[in-house]
Amino acid sequence: MSEELIKIEASPREVTGKSHIRKLRKSGRIPGVLLDKGQSIMLEFDPKWLGKAYKNGKQFELTFKGETRLVKVVEIQLDPIKRVALHVDLMYA
């Protein structure tokens, strides 16, 4: 594992639904869920560094609401043909 962790910045996602998620993916961002102590926080982020973070032990630093914390990837849903991320489940490490 590399010494330096990848840093990914996320923003909260308030709107749900298929049409909003499709527009979100079309704009180049992917939806995700941050699981934390019995609650889930919906977020969206740029998947540019997600592949590198996934190869780097499935852990990276997530900047969300002004604080940076270490998270790990629980599950990634991939498009079966394009092999791009459709949704990511994260958990604090």
Q: Using CA atoms, how far apart are residues 86 and 64, in angstroms rounded to an integer? A: 20
Asked, for residue 66, whether it belongs to a domain, the answer is: yes
Asked, for residue 84, whether it belongs to a domain, the answer is: yes
- 15 φ, ψ to 5°? -85, 135
Residue pLDDT, tens place only, 32-58: 999 988 899 999 999 888 888 888 888
pTM above 0.75, yes or no: yes
Count up the domains in the chain and report the number: 1
Asked, for residue 74, whether it belongs to a domain, the answer is: yes
Residue pLDDT, tens place only, 53-73: 888 888 999 999 999 999 999
Domain of residue 47, residue span: 7-92
CATH number of the domain that residue 40 is part of: 2.40.240.10
Q: What share of the chain is helix, strand, coil (3-state, %, to 5)?
A: 20, 50, 30
Q: What is the pLDDT of residue 30?
A: 95
Contact 78, 85 (CB under 8 A): yes
